[in-house]
Chain A
Amino acid sequence: MLLTLLQDGFFASIAAVGFGSISNVPKRIFAGCGLVAAIGHVTRFVLMNLCGFHIIWASLVAGFSIGMFAVLLRKVWKCPCESLAFPALLPMIPGMYAYRSVQSLILCFKTPSDGLFDHYIHIFFYNFMVCFLAILLMVFGVTFVIHLQKKRSFEIKWNRFFHKGV
C-alpha cells in the first residue's frame, strides 16, 4: 500500500512540474510544486480508495491540504502561495471525466434513437457535473485557505504601517 501511495505521489509531482513548466514556473520552485502536488494527490487517493469518499468531496479535502501546504511552504521557496498551489492542482483535474463527457456528446449527435440519445445525454451530464464540481471544490479549498492567510497577513502589515505612520 505504501508503495502505491509513493508511486501516486511521485507521478503526481512529475505531472505538476511538467504541466507547470508550460506556464513557466521557475526552476527553483519545481521541488515545492512537486511536493505540494504529491501531498494533494495522495490525500485524494487515500480518501477515495481507503475511506470511500466520492471524487468531488475528496477533491475538496485535497484542495484544502494543497492550500495549507502552499501557505506553509511559501516562505521556504519565497513565492506567492498561488505559484505553488495552482500548478499542484493541475494533476488533480479529472481528465477522464472530461474525456468521457466529450465522448458521450459525440455519440449524442451520432445516435439515431431517442432511447440511446437519453442514455448518452445522461452519461454526458453525469461526467460533466462530476468534472465541474470536482474542479470547483478543489479550487474553493485552495482559494479559501489562501484568502484567509492573505487577509490576516494584509491586516498585520496594514496595522504595522499605520502605527509606524502615526
Chain B
Amino acid sequence: MGIDIDITSVSSGNATVLIGVCFVIVLFLIVYETFFTKKGKGTNASSLSEILEQQENPDFIICKMIAEFAATLAACGATSMQVLSSVAYLSTHFGIHAEVTGLPQHILLCAVDDKRQKTYTINQKIKENPLDFDRIILLNHLAKETVTENYSPEIFYEKFQKILAVKRLPPNLVLVLTSLANASFCRLFNGDFISMAIVATATACGFYLRRTLCSRFKLDFRMGTIFAATVSTVIGTSGYVFQIGETPNVALATSILYLVPGIPYINSLSNLLNGMFLGCISQFFKGAILTICLSLGFCVGLVLTNLHFF
C-alpha cells in the first residue's frame, strides 16, 4: 500500500538549479537583514492612570483589566480552561462576578458588581500574537499570586505590564533548536544521518525565510508558510536529486513537518474535551488553514522539482 517516487523524473527537471536558487534567496535575505534593516522600537505600555483618566468607575476598570488579561492569555495560545480559571481567580479576588466567553477574534466579559446593582459587558479584541508559553506561565502565576499576596488593582496592572514587556527567546537560538528538532524528528522516523543533515538544512532555510518575510517584509503569515514549505520541499528533495543517503523519502517527508501547527490542534482537541466547542472550532480552523498552506507549498515544491509519485 506504498507510494514511491520516480527518480528519473527528478533528474530530468531543474531540481539542482532550484536548490541553488533557494540557497541564494536565503543568503540574500541574511545579507539584507544584517546590513539594510533597522530594529523597530517597542511600543510603550499604557499605565493604569491613563485608563483611570478615561473612566472613573473602579469596577469598570477592573473588568477592563480582567478582559485585557483574558485576551492576552487567549492570544498567547492558552486553552479556554486556563483562561477561565485565571479569570475566576481574579474576579473573585477583586469582588466582581465575571463570566468570560471566548470568541474567535474577541473575548466577551460579562460582569456584575458585588452589590448586584450594575452590570458591565466588555468586548476585548484578541491581538495577533505568536504562541507564547512563557507569557502563559507568567500570567497564570500572576493570577494566583494576586489572590495569595492580596494585590491591589494598581499593583496587579503594573505586574501585568511588566509581563507584556518580557522578551521572547533569541530568534537565532529558536532557529538552531528548530533545525535540530526537525533533524531529530527525521531520526525518529528511521532516517539516516545524511537525511538528518538535509532536513536540518531545509528547516533552517525555510524557517529563516518565513521569519524574515513575516517580520521584516510584513508578509501574511499564511503566505510565509507557503513560501517556507516550498523552499523546504525543494531542499528536502536533495536526497533524490544528488542520490545521497539511504532514506531520501524520510528526508523529504520530514523537511516540512516543523510547519505543522501542533499546538493549535492540541488546544483544539483540549477545548473539545472540555466542552468549549467554539474555542475548539476556532483553533481547529487556525491549524487547518496553516496545514493547507504547508500542503500547498509542498505541492508547489514537488511541481517545481518535477518530482512524481507513483
Q: A residues engaging B (CB < 8 A)?
A: 7-8, 11-12, 14-27, 29, 41, 78-80, 82-83, 86-87, 89-91, 93, 95-96, 98-100, 102-104, 106-107, 122-123, 126, 135-136, 139-140, 142-144, 147, 150, 154, 161
Tell me, yes or no, whether B227 is within 8 Å of chain A by CB: no
Indicate whether A95 sits within 8 Å of B254 (C-beta atoms), given known contacts A86-B263, A103-B309.
Answer: yes
B132 within 8 A of A: yes
Residue among A19, A98, A100, A103 making CB contact with B181, cutoff 8 Å? A19
Contacts of A126 in B (CB 8 A): 1
Interface status of B258 (Cβ within 8 A of chain A): yes
- Report the minimal beta-carbon distance from B203 to chain A, rounded to whole angstroms: 9
Q: Given the interface contacts A18-B180, A89-B262, A136-B269, does A150 sit within 8 Å of B81 by beta carbon?
A: yes
**Most chain B C-beta atoms within 10 Å of own C-beta, residue among A17, A27, A96:** A96
Contact status of A11 and B270, CB under 8 A, knowing A23-B132, A80-B140:
no
| Contact A11–B189 (Cβ < 8 Å) | no
Is B103 at the interface (CB under 8 A from chain A)? no
In the complex, are the beta carbons of B131 and A107 less than 8 A apart?
no
Q: Are A21 and B273 in contact (CB under 8 A)?
A: no
Q: Tell me, rounded to whole Å, the shortest Cβ–Cβ distance linking A53 to chain B.
A: 17
**Which listed segment binds A: B9-17, B105-113, B166-174?**
B166-174
C-alpha spacing A18/B204, complex, angstroms: 12
B82 part of interface (Cβ distance < 8 Å): yes
Given A25-B134, A103-B3, A18 contacting B266 (CB threshold 8 A): no
Residues of B within 8 A of A (CB): 1, 3, 77-79, 81-82, 85, 92, 130-137, 140-141, 168-169, 173-174, 177-182, 184-185, 187-189, 250, 253-254, 257-258, 260, 262-263, 265-267, 269-270, 273-274, 295, 298-299, 302, 309
Determine the chain B residues whose CB is within 8 A of the CB of A100 once the complex forms.
3
Name B's interface SS: helix
A23 to chain B: closest residue by CB: B131
- List residues of chain A with CB within 8 A of the CB of B250: 96
Contact assessment for A135 and B85 in the assembled complex, using a CB-CB cutoff below 8 Å: no
Q: Which of A11, A21, A102, A123 contacts B177 (CB 8 A)?
A: A21
15 further A-B pairs in the complex, CB-CB below 8 A; given A22-B131, A22-B178, A24-B133: A11-B187, A18-B179, A21-B169, A23-B131, A26-B134, A26-B137, A79-B137, A82-B79, A89-B262, A95-B189, A99-B257, A123-B3, A142-B270, A150-B81, A150-B85
The answer to whether B269 touches A143, judged by C-beta atoms less than 8 angstroms apart, is yes
Given A20-B133, A87-B133, A99-B253: A139 touches B269 (CB 8 Å cut-off): yes
- B260 and A18 contacting across the interface, CB-CB below 8 Å: no
Q: How far is the CA of A87 from the CA of B186 in the complex (A)?
A: 17
Q: How far is the CA of A72 from the CA of B109 in the complex (A)?
A: 33
Which of A8, A24, A87, A91 has the largest count of B CB atoms less than 10 A from its CB? Answer: A24
Enumerate chain B residues within 8 angstroms of A136, measured Cβ to Cβ.
269
Distance (Å) between the CB of A143 and the closest chain B CB?
5
Q: Which chain B residues border A93 with CB–CB below 8 Å? A: 257, 260, 262, 265
Chain B residues within an 8 Å CB radius of A99: 253, 257
B133:A25 contact, CB within 8 angstroms? yes
Among A12, A25, A91, A95, point to the contact of B253 (Cβ < 8 A). Answer: A95
A106, B185: Cβ atoms closer than 8 Å: no
